[in-house]
Structure 1
Amino acid sequence: MTEGFSLEDCDVIGFDLDHTLCRYHLKETCMLIYESFARYLVEYKGYDKDLLNVTPDTWDFCFKGLVVDLEEGNLIKLAEDGTVLRATHGTRNLSTEEIIKQYGPKREWKHFNSLNTTFTRSAKYYFYDNYFDLPGALLCARVVDLLNKKGKEVTPDLWKDMVAAIDHNYNTSAFRAIMFKT
């Protein structure tokens, strides 16, 4: 599901937590974020250690604008009108027939109007709209792969665990503790 975007040699400029203007090296930043999220799931939530093994070609999966359809367990790329252009279940690409089976002949995603008008978070979907979220999309897909491999269903617990990993890693008190140790 690549959009001609590569993490290789790609930098973005943005603000850090202390409002310092920074140049982020996306490849390294994404790898650190992914590893910290995955390590949390493995160490605190009991997920398979295989989540910690990521190959360089795996990063082609990441691009802005993915939506996790939490009801179906799919990651979808939408057109401007909400039509499902592409979808994966985990990291496995869904065929046109599979997309039509899940989203109907018009390939309409039923929550598009909510996402398109409010851009709020929901218990039914999550919109990956920035570079710091992208590693989470890959991690969600890889967790779905591992669950499917073990014959387990994707449940709302997956998303609760992802949110817990995000909260754990972006908790400002953790940064405060590091800053005051020196």
Structure 2
Amino acid sequence: MSGCFSLADCDVIGFDLDHTLCRYHLKETCRLIYESFARYLVEHRGYDQDLLNLTPATWDFCCKGLVVDLEEGNLVKLAEDGTVLRATHGTCDLSTEELLKHYGPKREWRHFNSLNTTFTRSAKYYFYDNYFDLPGALLCARVVDMLRKRGSEVTADFWKDIVAAIDHNYNTSAFRV
């Protein structure tokens, strides 16, 4: 999925947690979000220290609109009609044959209608729809890579750890002066 999005010199304007209008420097903001989530997984959940090592090229993986398919461990980029444009298992691109195996000859993602009509969260997928979610998409992909490297089965169980990292980092008690 490289080339979807580049964080180099990107700024966005948005609201902060206290509704203050802010200019966010995406490169730095995404790095801080990623590092805080990854540090939690390493220190509190026993994940490999390698999750903390990123290169500038690693960020090329990120693009808005990714969906993590928690049942497969795949991250998919969808067309407006739900067709899978491309997909990865972890950070590794799926081949055309693998895409056909997972999504059929029409490359249809089975949960698209649910996502497209309700935009609700699901136990089967998570839609990364904003810039502040992008570090989570990268973290999910790298966790899948780590599980595969360990020889562990990739199941939706890793998502519980991702959610725990999010809860830990966005809990108001984490905001210390």
In structure 1, C-alpha distance between the alignment counterparts of 2:34 and 2:21, rounded to whole Å: 22
Equivalent residue pairs, number: 177
Q: Which residue of 2 aligns with 1:18?
A: 18
Q: Which residue of 2 aligns with 1:158?
A: 158
Deviations 1:5-60 (A, max 9, x none): 21010000111111111110000000000000000000000000000000000000
**How much does 1:2 deviate?**
3.7
Q: Secondary structure of 1:22's partner? A: strand
Long gaps (5+) in structure 2: none
In structure 2, C-alpha distance between the alignment counterparts of 1:174 and 1:154, rounded to whole Å: 30
Q: Secondary structure of 2:157's partner? A: helix
Q: Which residue of 2 aligns with 1:93?
A: 93
Q: Which residue of 2 aligns with 1:80?
A: 80
Long gaps (5+) in structure 1: none
Q: Secondary structure of 1:156's partner? A: coil
In structure 2, C-alpha distance between the alignment counterparts of 1:4 and 1:90, rounded to whole Å: 16
Alignment of 1:12-161 (within 5 A): 12-161=12-161
In structure 1, C-alpha distance between the alignment counterparts of 2:3 and 2:114, rounded to whole Å: 24
In structure 2, C-alpha distance between the alignment counterparts of 1:77 and 1:85, rounded to whole Å: 6
Deviations 1:59-83 (A, max 9, x none): 0000100000011110000011111
- RMSD between aligned residues: 1.0
**How much does 1:145 deviate?**
0.5
**How much does 1:4 deviate?**
4.8
Q: What is the TM-score when the length of structure 1 is the normalising length?
A: 0.94
Task: For 1:48, give the aligned amino acid.
Answer: D
**How much does 1:171 deviate?**
1.2
Tell me, yes or no, if the aligned pair for 2:128 and 2:134 is still in contact at 8 Å: yes
**How much does 1:3 deviate?**
5.0
Q: Which residue of 2 aligns with 1:174?
A: 174
Deviations 1:122-168 (A, max 9, x none): 00000000011000000000011111111111122200000010111
In structure 1, C-alpha distance between the alignment counterparts of 2:90 and 2:174, rounded to whole Å: 31
Q: What is the TM-score when the length of structure 2 is the normalising length?
A: 0.97
In structure 2, C-alpha distance between the alignment counterparts of 1:104 and 1:77, rounded to whole Å: 15
